[in-house]
Amino acid sequence: MSRYFTEEHEWVEVDGDVATVGITEYAQSQLGDVVFVEVPEEGRELTKGDEAAVVESVKAASDVYTPASGTVVEGNAELEASPALVNEDPEGDGWFFRLTLSDPSELEGLMDADKYAAFVAKL
């Protein structure tokens, strides 16, 4: 599996033609305690850069964007019942949605873990 990162602080992990998307440790730390999450419905068509999900914390509300185009195959329903999962395990069980990629080449411009760490260090 390959993991990529966006400048908007989403991560995407690719396994075959399915991508799992969430927010990074850095993003959740900036948001603070997450109190609400809305994930996209199965079957929703997304284009790279679309607002795909919403996360609200005690500090702010933020959109989660899709790093690539595709069709949602699963939204993480556990987040709606337990939004704190985003804080507890943002880059694991706190994922937001999975989609079947329609154009995997859209991931080519994203950062790997080292580049993302260097990006965050400059913030």
Residue 113 has pLDDT above 90, yes or no: yes
pLDDT digits (tens, 9 = 90+) for 18-45: 999 999 999 999 999 999 999 999 999 9
Percent of the chain scoring above 90 in pLDDT: 96
What's the Cα-to-Cα distance from 59 to each of 29, 30, 32, 56, 111, rounded to whole Å? 11, 9, 6, 8, 27
Residues of 9-40 as b/e, b for ≥16 C-beta within 10 angstroms?
bbbbbbeeeebbbbbbbbbbeebeebeebbbb
Which pLDDT does position 1 carry in this prediction? 67
Residues 70-103 have pLDDT tens digits of 999 999 999 989 999 999 999 999 999 999 999 9
